[in-house]
Structure 1
Amino acid sequence: MRSLFICIWAATVAWTSASAAEGVRPDADSRHASSAPPMVAGFDRFARHGDIDAVDGGRLLLGELSCTACHASGAADPETNATVSAITPKRGPRLHSAGRRYSQAWLADFIATPHQVKPGTTMPHLLENRSPQQRREIGHAIAAFLVDTQRADYPEIKATGANPVMFEFWKRGDADRGSEIFHTRGCVACHSSDADYVVAGANSSPVDTLLDELDPEELADMGLAGAARRVDSIPLGDLAAKYSRKSLAHFLHDPAHTRPALRMPDFKLSSNECADLAEYLLSAYSSEKLSRGEQTSSEQSSDKAANDAALVQRGRELFSELNCAACHDSSIKSAVARAKPLSAVNLVAANGCLGNSPQRPVQYSLDSVQRDAIAKAIESAKSGQPVSAKQKLDGILLASNCYGCHQRDELGGIGRYRKPYFETTGHIDLGDEGRLPPPLTGVGAKLTSTHLTNVVSGKTPPIRPYMQIQMPRFSQEVAHAVPKLFAKVDGVNTADAARVFGDTKDLADVGRELMDIGCVQCHTFAGNALPGVMGVDLSKIHSRIHPAWFEEFLLNPGGVKARTRMPTFFVDGKSPRPDLFDGDPKRQIAAMWAYLSELPKHPLPSKIEKSRADNYELAPTDQPLILRTFMPGAGTHAIAVGFPEQVHFAFDAEQVRLATIWRGRFLDAQGTWFVRFAPPAVPLGQAVVEFVEGFSFAKLDQANQAWPTASDVRFGGYRLDHDHSPVFLYDYAGLEITDRVEPLTSGNPPATHQETRLRRTLTLTSIDSAANTNPPPLWFRVHRGDRLTQINDHTMQNEAGVTIALPTSIARDAELFRGDDVTEWRLPVREFPFTIEVDYSW
């Protein structure tokens, strides 16, 4: 038997729409008909589409539908301690306070016809084989029994100085504030948002742009069908008919009190926030919109219904007869009738749960996909096949809907159309890595089990306070099991710092110096940062991160964490600071670890301490300067590079393109460092050239094809070259591309900066042998303008006076494309490896 009441599951944020103009579409609840199958988020998102094995999907259903509350599913072998096919049932809510929490009218209707009252519920219909009159009578009797006998008081909410509790706080809710909480704190990862709620409109990532341009067959061929698919929302039903303001606010404050499985996790809301959220939910999820001051159905009933004693007694008997205690704890001790174990279930029995007889006692409204998955899981259970640690871990992540927010091994993550609801405080653009929940791929090898336990159980403060959504609290069972399983599945190197780094005594001062290479531009240190910087706090990192992972990540960030913004500082194993420890990267990383581990005992990085200096203009003198900032032409992912030769450029890391070049003075860093909402940084020099938007490479069948507006290029960060210049790294069309820009002087004596040009060197290398034998029809856009004038056999100039030259050896292959209002100079790339040198003069 399944629970009488399905959870509100506001696990992590679902979203619907802002406006059609923003390209944002709603995720409406998909369960409408009374015969709709039960909604289990992990199954409907993955198993239904073949993204996970049907057996694993069936095991998920057996647990989430609480089938194993009645049907024993196995246990651990006491001799081998092997994990076999035991499946823990989720079970339903505790009913000790049902009489105070729920409307009696709603209880009667839900018990009589659960699938009509709440389409998509996982509560089975136990009265399908009864007449409509009998259903109404049984529902009325059990509801009277629950309302009269299950009246435990609400748990006391203790006030503190930092978290006061107002008298009758549940009456003080504000629906507008509640809507803000619902749409920003995590609820819309699982539930539909309000179509009237307007989001700020985050920039689409290149991948999301690509998804909009591909048809279903192309998505399937590229393995992107799951990423493009709309994610169903977990239905909430008519909350105003079910709850009162008081009961819903108390539930939101402590979901575990009535739902120990915590499928609806605890978002650690204050009492005032619970009142606000309850007010919004009761108006948004009501058969009729509630105005302020109106009562819910539950509030309209008296505090203690005067039910007939005979009716209550009849309800008590039915509660036992229908085996409700198998799924629900209550104050009434009732025997639980056990059904056949899964190993003995007859899959073809017409009157069984999977059968098609109208007289079967339990009706889940399963569809054929769910029924087939359950049958396969039962057959697997009969075989006695042990369940692997990976299956056990995946089962917990699926049941708790961790995949609703987090991605692991390309599975899950925030639904495509929900992403605009995930933002940073103040809407500062930190990219997807800064606003979306972090991936769980390899997390067992990264985070210590102690830290993981504290995170899952809600005992640690957030290290990403700039994210509006925060990690909720899950059950102790999950917090206890998941870290161990992550460690087992991900293969953890648990060597302590001494074994990884050696003796780190007296290294902290060097580590502090190394922080100024670039760490201070993106990270916080014990709550201190350059003004305007919002990033992961690096203090106490030794209590969170395995030392071996820390070392490996700093040596190769892109290889350890896909799509990270973290740049590569140790290029080819060489340090940008050869003067420290003879340039030994591992020793320098050991010094960083020592400094961060002892941070409270040492001064902050010098750039943070000196950041309030009077002059913020950056002037490159003896080596290039690099600044991540916002710029008009290069956008919110700009990487500006200034050279002592007084020629500079900005690289757009979002569109992966050379965006801006200019001469003279470089940039003023005051806005970037100190002003959170500063306008974009503007080049201080002159002769500023802005290049056209879009990636410079494209797969074209012919030279006269229009240049595409989107690309599936993957930016891999940058590394520092021997002279501290950045070398940008990106992958495209099976190729690895490096992109380096440097000043190039001419003349004798040395040229002035007006005569200095920039040389861009791009090297394309095949990632696999297939790219060598069957290269794509790849083109490089060299130059663009309203018109282009040929200067010589290898040089073109546009109407703005920007001159671009190629080596003569490859320029002869370049072709001109003339459109209605644009001319482009394009170079075909037919063999790999291939190097392109491009000289820019202006």
Structure 2
Amino acid sequence: MRYLIAGLWVATVAWTAVAVAEESRSDLTSLHDSSAPPVVAGFDRFARHGDIDAVDGGRLLLSELSCTACHASDVAAAGKKNTADAIAPKRGPRLHSAGLRYSQAWLADFIASPHQVKPGTTMPDLLGNRSPQQRREISTAIAAFLADTQRADYPEIKATGANPVMFEFWNRGDADHGSEIFHTRGCVACHSSDAGYVVTGAITSPVDALLEELDPEELADMGLAAAARRVDSIPLGDLAAKYTRKSLAHFLHDPAHTRPALRMPDFKLSSNESADLAEYLLSAYSSDEPTFSAKPSSAVSSDDAANDAALVQRGREWFTELNCAACHDSSIKAASPSVMPLSAVNFAAAKSCLGDSPQRPVRYPLDSVQRDAIAKAIASNKLGQAVSATQKLDDILLASNCYGCHQRDERGGIGRYRKPYFETAGHIDLGDEGRLPPPLTGVGAKLTSAHLANVVSGKAPPVRPYMQIQMPRFSLDVTRALPKLFAEVDEANDADTTRVFGKTKDLADAGRELMDIGCVQCHTFGGDALPGVVGVDLNKINSRIHPAWFEQFLLNPGDVKARTRMPTFFVDGKSPKPDLLDGDPKRQIAAMWTYLSELPKYPLPSKIEKSRAENYELSPTDRPMILRTFMPGAGPHAIAVGFPEQVHFAFDAEQVRLATTWRGRFLDAQGTWFVRFAPPADPLGQEVVEFPEGFSFAKLNQADDPWPLPPDVRFGGYRINADGSPLFLYRYAGVEVTDHIEPLAAEDRSETHHKTGLRRTITLTPIESDANATVAPLWFRVHQGDRMTRIDDHTMRHESGQNETGQNEAGLTIAIPPSLARDAHVYQSDDVTEWRVPVREFPFKIEVNYSW
């Protein structure tokens, strides 16, 4: 049936704003519904609707609700040495830095009544059998204890040239960009979208269009009920009451630091992106309404006020007595009390965790479906038996909510009404296969265990750069377990190249020729492709794919991967190139594998090489290249200069300043030369560094005067040196300035600790006849940033024969000779630090080395 559906041609229709808005309101819980059951994504999507066995759903709840943090599962309780099959508890956040990360008032509210403050939380209510006054007294004491004693500092975020860290980056967030991150990177796979966010260009696939046409009975008959069902959202609660900008930005940058279980995965955001997303979330998820009605107005001290020592001590005692350490790591090391194993729990008793008595000591507002699933799991014999690899794998996929994005064996995938938010960059039509996360069906037979580990841990370079959604990184436990389990369950054939293809010597040339049959029409090769092609990159495919799977897939793509757009080139087992390698499909596939495995040793496919010869990418080889263009950061009067050393820069002729530097590939000139109203030319390389705006020279009466507004500077163009590099010319304050920027010489690179960089040489000569000759002292601003420090963390000024070296928060290293450093001045204000050098006499020469 699935192939029939895939083959249906249904006219694509635009997703309506109504459907998107409905999805944004589909949280399983209401913020003020204190009886809402705990939200466990895998259970609510599958077990609640009977898509997985109730016992398996109960096992998932026992783990996600951390029941086994107190109650040992039978395998562990039996004293067996191998406890790998025990149900591991998810456990709660690490509390070592809770005093810095969370509002003390919010902590007190949350501990007093977790399910009212954050409906859907998996935190149990440990004070439910106490009076409102007792709950408030205990929660206030524990909050004071956490606020005063659990104050481990935030981890340092190290800056690099490619990933700068601005000073107090958490205060510089852009909510609009944060909203874009939230709605395009993958957050809305689990969380509700903003009804005001406009989705443009999204269209339905034929399968989803079919779902719109069928009624519930028809969907059930065709096995499409789960695919058509709305996927509920994981609630976020009142984030503004819980976090500060700093604490939320740090959490989003490194979720594992406080939540090692990583149910919230790490999307590898930069510090700036974390600040942007935090700014959006704090504005979108806040509530001014009270949460705990029994709270006395003066019960909780201000987060800035010191807590009474006796109150803190009482909080420490309650923290121990309530066994908080069973779920939370902190600086308190307490032994967990002995409690009965799961098999001994009388789930029918009114005062048990699963009971309904108001006097039960631990409360979860479980609904009847959840209670029934947990009871069946405890009553079954599965808790005392070894778990199969298939079950272990499914447990991890359910607990980590991998099914929220990926489909495996017709289960899971992006929810029907969430798909509009998942698009390709530029809305290139690659179908669902190009915009949605790839399916996990048979992935263990496809990908090598080493590559799977890199994917799950976030170390693998992207092979689908056209997708807006990003693959996050998961915990170390998941990274270790998943690759082995996928390989075992999917029966991976890990035979090496020789065992699959036989001898492959001298086959690469034939493989290169075969690429032109059709591969180049859809795929890139190490970033190179035909114009407009944005498919999966085939570079280093041998490090990712099992050769046996590669052979099977090329012979019968549709049999190996359902609904793939990959065409069948060997129709009826016959090759489209019968004159090559005797027309043997398997030998030709072996040749293709050999060629792809040996890239970039061999030339690119001939069609791509021909296209490159006809395209307009500028690649300096023997001499520098200069292009006047429009660039982001350098503006509409940019002069881009590329060097054979693969280090480049852009000079802003309007502001007369060095604007941008980067490494790698230079620029594509097609838009500049041939396309009217073309978008700005982006650097094609990597490690792009943006320089501060403004002119580098100023007349200052005092060294600590603020840097003035852009002065009256006259740009005089540039002349070409003998080596092909430009010498920029400009005039300011009666001074003629020549500005030459070139790659660092080899002998200058050792002190920078970088392979490449730029040397800037500026010479100032007075213009005797100029009536505007400088009167006030002239200063050169070497660089500026939120902060400027020596890279060895000493003072910026020193007496030695070596270049003086400083670094800003963006990771850009700047070196000047001692003759300039002796007079250098560090200017500091509330929001900027500048390194300034006075111009003492004329002519004056300034040398600056930049590396990143």
Indicate whether 1:569 and 2:531 are aligned.
Answer: no
Question: How far off is 1:309 after superposition?
Answer: 1.0
Aligned to 2:26: 28
Cα deviation for residue 481 of structure 1 reads: 0.2
Partners of 1:201 and 1:22 in 2: CA distance: 13
The residue aligned with 2:740 is: none
**Segment of structure 1 superposing worse, 20-29 or 379-388:** 20-29
How far residue 342 of structure 1 moved from its aligned partner, in angstroms, is 1.1
Aligned ranges 1:675-686 → 2 under 5 Å: none
- Structure 1 gap segments, 5+ residues each: 1-15, 290-299, 616-669, 679-842
Alignment pair present for 1:330 and 2:330? yes
Residue aligning to 1:41: 41
Match of 1:469 in 2: 469
**Shift in CA distance, 529/191, structure 1 to aligned 2, threshold 3 Å:** same
What does 1:363-762 align with in structure 2 at a 5 Å threshold? 363-381=363-381, 384-611=384-611
- CA distance, structure 2, for counterparts of residue 605 and residue 254 of structure 1: 41
Aligned residues: 597
CA 53–21 in structure 1, closer or farther in 2 if over 3 Å, else same: closer
Q: Does structure 2 conserve the Cα–Cα contact (< 8 Å) formed by 1:83 and 1:387?
A: no
C-alpha separation in 2, matches of 1:76 and 1:444: 29
Contact 2:353 2:364 (8 Å CA) reproduced: yes
SS of equivalent residue, structure 2 residue 278:
helix
How far is 1:115 from its partner?
0.7
Deviation at 1:74, TM superposition (A): 3.8
Measure, in 1, the Cα distance between the counterparts of 2:128 and 2:15: 38
1:319 aligns with 2:305: no
Per the TM alignment, residue 85 of structure 1 is displaced from its structure 2 partner at its CA by: 4.8
1:597 deviation in Å? Answer: 0.1
| Native 8 Å contact 2:500 2:548 kept in 1 | yes
The aligned counterpart of 1:19 is 17
Query: Is 1:151 the counterpart of 2:151 in the alignment?
Result: yes
CA displacement at 1:366 relative to structure 2: 0.4
Q: What percentage of residue pairs aligned between the two structures are identical?
A: 83
| Structure 2 contact 23–192 (Cα < 8 Å) conserved | no
- Which residue of structure 2 aligns with residue 351 of structure 1? 351
| Residue 72 of structure 1: aligned partner | 72
Equivalence for 2:241:
241
1:59/1:278 CA distance change after superposition, 3 Å: same
Deviates more, 1:280-289 or 1:525-534: 280-289
Measure how far apart 1:464 and its partner are.
0.5
Report the CA distance shift for 1:591/1:71 in structure 2 as closer, same or farther (over 3 A).
same
Partner of 1:52: 52
Using the alignment, how far apart are the partners of 1:345 and 1:70 within structure 2?
A: 12
By how many angstroms is 1:117 displaced? 0.5
The residue matched to 1:510 in structure 2 has which SS? helix
Give the aligned partner of residue 61 of structure 2.
61
3-state SS of paired residue (1:227):
helix
User: Which amino acid letter does the alignment assign opposite residue 577 of structure 1?
Assistant: K
Tell me the distance in 2 between the aligned counterparts of 1:24 and 1:77.
Answer: 46
C-alpha distance 496-77 of structure 1, shift in aligned 2 (>3 A): farther
Amino acid at match of 1:377: A
* Residues 267-346 of structure 1 aligned to structure 2 (within 5 Å): 267-288=267-288, 304-346=304-346
* 1:18-61: CA deviation from partner (whole Å, max 9, x where unpaired): 71388975352120221000000000000000001111100100
| 8 A Cα contact 1:19 1:25, kept in partner | no
Q: CA deviation at 1:164?
A: 1.1
Structure 1 CA distance, aligned partners of 2:287 and 2:93?
A: 23
**Is the Cα contact below 8 Å between 1:423 and 1:468 reproduced in 2?**
yes
Aligned partner of residue 277 in structure 2, secondary structure: helix
Q: Decide which moves more: 195-204 or 416-425.
A: 195-204
Shift of 1:613: 6.8
- Separation (CA, whole Å) in 2 of partners of 1:81 and 1:609: 61
Partners of 1:601 and 1:382 in 2: CA distance: 54
Does the 8 A contact of 2:377 with 2:383 survive in 1?
no
Distance in 2 (CA, whole Å) between partners of 1:301 and 1:531 is 63
After superposition, the Cα gap between the structure-2 partners of 1:121 and 1:17, relative to the gap in structure 1 and judged at 3 Å, is: farther
Question: How far, CA to CA, are the matches of 1:287 and 1:110 in structure 2?
Answer: 14
Offset, 1:81: 8.5
Distance 1:137 1:248 in 2: 27
Per the alignment, in what secondary structure is the counterpart of residue 567 of structure 1? coil
Q: Name the CA shift for 1:332/1:613 in 2 (closer, same or farther; >3 Å).
A: closer
Question: By how many angstroms is 1:612 displaced?
Answer: 5.0
Inter-partner Cα distance in structure 1 for 2:201 and 2:379: 48
- Residue number in structure 2 paired with 1:199: 199
CA contact (8 A) 1:191 1:233 kept: yes
Q: Aligned equivalents of 2:214 and 2:123: distance in 1?
A: 39
Residue 75 of structure 2 contacts residue 384 of structure 2 at CA under 8 Å; is this kept in 1? Answer: no
Q: Any idea what SS the aligned residue of 1:600 has?
A: coil
> Does the aligned pair in 2 maintain the 1:17–1:24 contact within 8 Å?
no
* Equivalent residue letter for 1:564: T
User: Aligned with 2:157: secondary structure?
Assistant: coil
Does residue 108 of the first structure (1) align with residue 108 of the second (2)? yes
Matched to 2:420, the amino acid is: P
With over 3 angstroms needed to count, the CA separation of the structure-2 counterparts of 1:515 and 1:51, relative to structure 1, is same
**Deviations along 1:440-497, whole A, 9 cap, x unmatched?**
0000000000000010001111110110111000001000000100011111111100
Q: Closer, same or farther in 2 for the Cα pair 1:23/1:514, shift >3 Å?
A: farther
How much does 1:384 deviate?
Answer: 2.1
Supply the distance in 2 between the matched residues of 1:78 and 1:344 (Cα, whole angstroms): 12
Query: 1:339 offset after TM fit, Å?
Result: 1.7
- Contact 1:457 / 1:473 at 8 angstroms: preserved in 2? yes
Which stretch shows the higher mean deviation, 326-335 or 224-233?
326-335
| Amino acid in the other structure paired with 1:30 | L
For residues 562-582 of structure 1, the C-alpha deviation after alignment (integer angstroms, 9 at most, x for no partner) is: 000000000111101000111
Aligned-pair Cα RMSD in Å = 2.5
Which residue is equivalent to 2:188? 188
Aligned residues of 1:18 and 1:195 also touching (Cα < 8 A): no
After TM superposition, the score normalised by the length of structure 2 is: 0.68
**Counterpart Cα distance in 1 of 2:79 and 2:599:** 48
**SS at 1:261 equivalent:** coil
**Do the aligned residues in 2 keep the contact of 1:157 with 1:165 (CA within 8 Å)?**
yes
Per the TM alignment, residue 196 of structure 1 is displaced from its structure 2 partner at its CA by 0.3
Change in 2 beyond 3 A, CA 1:196/1:382: closer
Secondary structure of the corresponding residue to residue 572 of structure 1: helix
Letter of the 1:123 counterpart: M
Partner SS for 1:568: coil
- What secondary structure does 2:24 align onto? coil
Q: Which amino acid aligns with 2:377?
A: A
Q: Shift of residue 383 of structure 1?
A: 6.4
Secondary structure of the equivalent of 2:470?
A: coil
Structure 1 position 335, deviation (Å): 2.3
Q: Give the 3-state SS of the residue equivalent to 1:364 in structure 2.
A: coil
* Residue identity opposite 1:31 in structure 2: T
Give the Cα–Cα distance (whole angstroms) in 1 for the partners of residues 174 and 51 of structure 2: 41
Structure 1 pair 414–139 and aligned structure 2 pair: CA distance change class (3 A): same
SS in 2 for 1:377: helix
Conservation of the 8 A alpha-carbon contact between 1:404 and 1:412:
yes
- Conservation of the 8 A alpha-carbon contact between 1:27 and 1:232: no
With over 3 angstroms needed to count, the CA separation of the structure-2 counterparts of 1:283 and 1:23, relative to structure 1, is closer
Question: Could you tell me how far apart the structure 2 residues matched to 1:65 and 1:181 are?
Answer: 30
**Letter aligned with residue 26 of structure 2:** A
Structure 1 Cα separation of the partners of residues 132 and 285 of structure 2: 27
Match of 2:165 in 1: 165
1:175 matched to 2:179? The reply is no
Can you list the C-alpha shifts for 1:345-371, whole angstroms capped at 9, x where unaligned?
A: 222222111112111101100001000
Shift of 1:303: 6.4
